[in-house]
Amino acid sequence: MTQIFSGRIALVTGASRGIGKAIARVLGTNGAYVIGTATTENGSQGITKGFAETGINGQGLVLDVKDRTSREKFADLLSAAGHSPLILVNNAGVTRDNLFLRMKEEEWSDVIAINLDSVYHLCRICLRGMVKARFGRIINISSVVAFSGNPGQTNYAAAKAGMIGFTRSLAREVGSRNITVNTLAPGFIDTDMTAALSEEQQTSLQERIALGRLGHVDEVANTVKFLASDDASYITGETINVNGGMYMV
């Protein structure tokens, strides 16, 4: 297999399961040294173990993206190890669904902090190294609901839409340094989250999708692989929709 990311360090937040795990795997199997983050020590150890079992060069580290102390410790660990990620995938995310009139302030603030503020913080950690190297790939994982909206998800939709505006603005700032910034907006993907839905709910979802099925995590991960590669060197400030035709912009 061609090691297209050989010599590059990739940082993937929220890499212990689902989409993040698949992204870490595809970048690692294509030569990147992958740092995957999880919010707990058990989660980070699971990432490290999974890498070792599949022959991926990398490690798991603990990072609570909404906690300042955790972010500072994480940044110090990267610096001490001499790790300067040139590929950053902002995948960490959470939902706290509720109808707006019932939504508690912490349900709003947690979702904004974990889904949107984290993009700011992780870019701050990685961007200086990218500028120095005059190369970088930043890929932000948004969602189809940034475009379509979804009842009970004003917080999540706001955060995911904010990522798109952030992407476009940062892309204009750093493009002259050969750094691209793009967003990927998945639709409904077959993960443990969607597996918890009833058969009736899954059937209803699939009826709204042109391809008539849920997406696979590898289909999202392979799109990230493309955006991180040299083949995508002239794509920046864009949002790639991976939703099977559920919502067409």
Q: Specify the CATH number for the domain of residue 233.
A: 3.40.50.720
Residue 249 lies in a domain: no
The pLDDT assigned to 194 comes to: 75
Residue 135 lies in a domain: yes
Domain count, the chain: 1
Whole-number Å distance between alpha carbons of 245 and 201: 18
Whole-number Å distance between alpha carbons of 81 and 48: 16
Residue 247 lies in a domain: no
Whole-number Å distance between alpha carbons of 176 and 166: 17
Residue 192 predicted with pLDDT over 80: no
pTM above 0.85, yes or no: yes
Domain containing residue 222: 9-242
Task: Give the residue numbers marked as catalytic.
Answer: 156
The pLDDT assigned to 200 comes to: 85
Q: What is the pLDDT of residues 79-92, one digit of tens each?
A: 999 999 999 999 99
Q: What is the pLDDT of residues 207-216, one digit of tens each?
A: 999 999 999 9
The pLDDT assigned to 1 comes to: 53
Whole-number Å distance between alpha carbons of 31 and 47: 17
